[in-house]
Amino acid sequence: MTGPKVVIIGAGVVGAALADELTGRGWDDVTVVDQGDLPAPGGSTSHAPGLVFQASSSKTLTDLARYTVEKFCSLEAEAGPCFLQVGGLEVATTPERVVELHRRHGWLTAWGVESRLLDAAETAAMYPLLDPEVVLAGLHTPTDGLAKAVNAVDAQTRRAASRGARLLPRHEVLDVTVEDGTVTGVITDQGEIPADIVVCCAGIWGPVIAAKVGLQLPLTPLAHQLAWTSPVPALAGAAKEATLPILRHQDQDLYYRERFDTLGIGYYGHRPMPIRAEDIARLDDSAVMPSVLEFTEGDFEQAWKQTQMLLPSTRDATVEEGINGLFSFTTDNMPLIGESPDVSGFWVAEAVWVTHSAGVGRAVAELLVDGYCSSFDLHECDLNRFEEHQISPEYVLTRDCQNFVEVYDILHPLQPTGAPRPIRTSPFYERQRALGGEFLEASGWERPQWYAANAGLVDGRDIPAPNDWAARYWSPIVAAEAQATRESVAMYDMTALKRLEVTGPGAARFLNGLVTANVDKSVGSVTYCLLLDVDGGIRSDITVARLAVDRFQIGANGNADLDWLTRHLPDDGSAQVRDITSGTCCIGLWGPRARDLIQPLTDTDFSHEALKYFRATPAFVGTVPVTAMRLSYVGELGWELYTTADHGQRLWDLLWEAGQQYGIIAAGRGAFSSLRLEKGYRSYGADMTAEHDPYEAGLGFAVKLDKGDFVGRDALLARKDEVTRRLTCLTLPDPGSVVLGKEPVYAGDSCVGYVTSAAYGYTIGRGIAYAWLPSELTEVGTEVEIGYFDERVRAVVTAEPLFDPAMSRLRS
């Protein structure tokens, strides 16, 4: 046998895909266990309606779906094909949905999937069952279609078995054995199976399996209604299972698929119907299968009414049968992929719908075999991305139910989560509320986007008003706060930034083996650097401040960074890492008058000579002990001032009172984002991900190849001279033009890239967009266009940074 002993728990479409992908890479000691029969073991796969729409605001989800489509099209099971590529059609019956279809068309184009916008007549012609008087527009994606999920399970498990995999249906998993923090096997009702690696692909039962190794999986099974009609007259005589495109009517939370002369109707408009994974019926106790609950006809009444309005031919049919089928939901609508933080060798591939299943199978196989994923960026799917409160049962249930309600809603990219809020508040929260803070949410923290108290600053300023979509979660106060920061001084609440502490005699050596720059420098040094994966892709960008010989403070991007550092800790205990975010807070004090404000409050010398750019020092501001780091992500003189939470409000009050004579303001995230882009500062997760290397992202300055070995260095040596694309600064010449991010970029009629971050630059008086473009289109002065809803917005490649390229304001 080749490779480690792998046991996959769950033989649904994800487990089948993983078995196929692993054996295809030469690992043949693979066992797939399931409590049910193959190829329809009784989970979500077995009743899934199979509609595959590739459109998503997440590039990762579209990439996973595209691979799934391509793979399923290549598979054939004994019972027939695994994919019916009939295309997908999304329809709009309201003006708001028409606008949304333009946005979705932009996503598909940006991510490389062909689609076309249709007018009302074209839409009705493509799907003759539609009432042409109801439909306003459509979006057609020709490569969408119907996945035959059970056939896909059969084809993939049979192929895996032909390569040596062992399939064990009717094996109920009773436990997962662990010794010294490492998985050793799986106990079933028919005996124990030794394992070096266990992968939980149990779908709606995932929380039950994960709990056997002490892992709390933030997943909720929710029932979703699927009904089948009696024969529909307009489909009479249909010889094929499906010829019309799969159809979505998102204005009413509905979707449709053919089954010869009948229609399947899926509905998300009913009340959320969650069930605990522990309460799902046992296989032999369920009437149909464990994932199928009794159809509640009353919940479907509105769906049938709206169906008859949209598809008049259904008025001569009836609802013949239906189910309430269980599917997995998560708090951010993304899959759960990764290894347990506590039990080595226990992996999960959970909350994966048929749409993304083969892609996830490939991704997990690459992680296991190669140690990294080269095909997809998985940072949005990382199992260990969650803050602690985000895995609490109350939070998981509340958010998962709300996500069910919103599954087809038109959501703005800045739209904050609903209940439960507020969850985390900084020590400045009451002061911010008193100033009329307009709060959005970041990692559970209430974070002001702007302050109503600054409304007076708008008077007399020429502030261009953005269009309807860009104007949501925006105020002209954002512009005034940005301009006031450039002119005087402002306080920014930076508490939501993840803060980690690395300590121990081996801390410097440990960090230097992970980051791209040298952090083994003098006490007080602050270093901007990157965390890379083995292939040189960017996992995160961080700042590392050396506060003592054996103590470092890291400004990180999230909990996945903590997990990455923890996994790489030395076995000898010479370094430790802990999250200090909750017990600390931070104010960014920035602007040309920042030094005038702070110097009288402290005995520490805050002059440029004493505390240079990218240096840190302990100090007292009044009675408040702080760590002052001379950093600025807004491009102005100033410091990040860190203190413990108990001193936070006092720090705010001292700075606020002392700043009155300089016209101090509190400024929000809206202004911060604009100022950040004027300086060209990157944002991980938006501007660059694991798909990109430092040289492409314009971060080569943060890589010191001569400092010694670090994770990803060998890959960078091969990649640094092969840059074929670049993260590029674009400005929008037309006054008032602004885009949001994730739009396609065109050269002529061809899509050549996509926008990452965007904002209006109030200092430079132009819209700003950063975009990934082919290297040959990144010369300064090159003109391109950005597809913004139904418009083409002119954009010009511009040298960066746009503001203060000499860095004189930061270094004053």
Per residue in 665-721, pLDDT (tens digit) is: 999 999 999 999 999 999 999 999 999 999 999 999 999 999 999 999 999 998 888
Dmax of the chain from CA atoms?
88
Dump pLDDT digits (tens) for 172-201. Answer: 999 999 999 999 999 999 999 999 999 999
**Closest Cα to residue 568, out of 473, 709, 668?**
709
Residue type, 609: E
Inform me whether the pLDDT recorded for 254 exceeds 90: yes
Torsion of CA 481, 484, 485, 490, to 10 degrees: -80
Q: Average pLDDT of the chain? A: 97
**Closest Cα to residue 728, out of 634, 810, 802, 805?**
802
For the chain, the first-to-last Cα distance in angstroms comes to: 65
pLDDT band at residue 1 using 50, 70 and 90 as cut-offs: low
The sheet with strand 254-259 has its strands ordered as: 116-119, 137-141, 88-92, 246-249, 254-259, 262-267, 219-229, 319-330, 292-293
Identify the DSSP state of 424: B
pLDDT at residue 285, rounded to an integer: 86
Cα gap 268→254, rounded to integer Å: 6
Cα gap 248→307, rounded to integer Å: 11
Specify whether the CB–CB gap between 749 and 712 falls below 8 A: no
pLDDT at residue 360, rounded to an integer: 98
Specify whether the CB–CB gap between 743 and 755 falls below 8 A: yes
Identify the DSSP state of 42: S
Specify whether the CB–CB gap between 445 and 495 falls below 8 A: yes
Inform me whether the pLDDT recorded for 757 exceeds 90: yes
Chain centroid to CA 209: 25
φ/ψ of residue 595, rounded to 5:
-70, -40
**Closest Cα to residue 432, out of 585, 254, 203?**
585
pTM over 0.95: yes
Cα gap 291→224, rounded to integer Å: 10
pLDDT at residue 727, rounded to an integer: 98
Report CA-CA distances (Å) from 650 to 597, 602, 676: 16, 14, 28
CB neighbours of 151 closer than 8 A, spacing ≥ 6? 39, 75, 77, 79, 80, 81, 82
Chain centroid to CA 25: 28
Cα gap 520→542, rounded to integer Å: 15
Spell out where 283-442 has E strands. 292-293, 319-330, 336-339, 346-350, 437-442
Inform me whether the pLDDT recorded for 239 exceeds 70: yes
pLDDT at residue 101, rounded to an integer: 98
Neighbouring C-alpha atoms within 13 Å toward the C-beta of 349: 32
pLDDT at residue 504, rounded to an integer: 98
Query: SS3 for 644?
Result: strand
For 606-625, the three-class secondary structure string (H helix, E strand, C coil) is CCCCCCCCCEEEEEEECCEE
Inform me whether the pLDDT recorded for 664 exceeds 90: yes
Q: What is the DSSP string of 653-693?
A: HHHHHHHGGGT-EEE-HHHHHHHHHHTT---BTTTB-TTS-
Cα gap 565→559, rounded to integer Å: 10
Specify whether the CB–CB gap between 531 and 619 falls below 8 A: no
Average pLDDT over residues 530-553: 98
pLDDT at residue 462, rounded to an integer: 82
**Closest Cα to residue 511, out of 713, 712, 710, 715?**
710
Report CA-CA distances (Å) from 108 to 57, 255, 610, 772: 9, 19, 52, 15
Report, as residue numbers or ranges, the catalytic residues. 224, 255, 541
Helix or strand (DSSP H, E) at 19: helix 13-24
Specify whether the CB–CB gap between 616 and 526 falls below 8 A: yes
Dump pLDDT digits (tens) for 122-166. Answer: 999 999 999 999 999 999 999 999 999 999 999 999 999 999 999
> In residues, how long is the chain?
812
Count of helix runs (H) and strand runs (E) in the chain? 18, 42
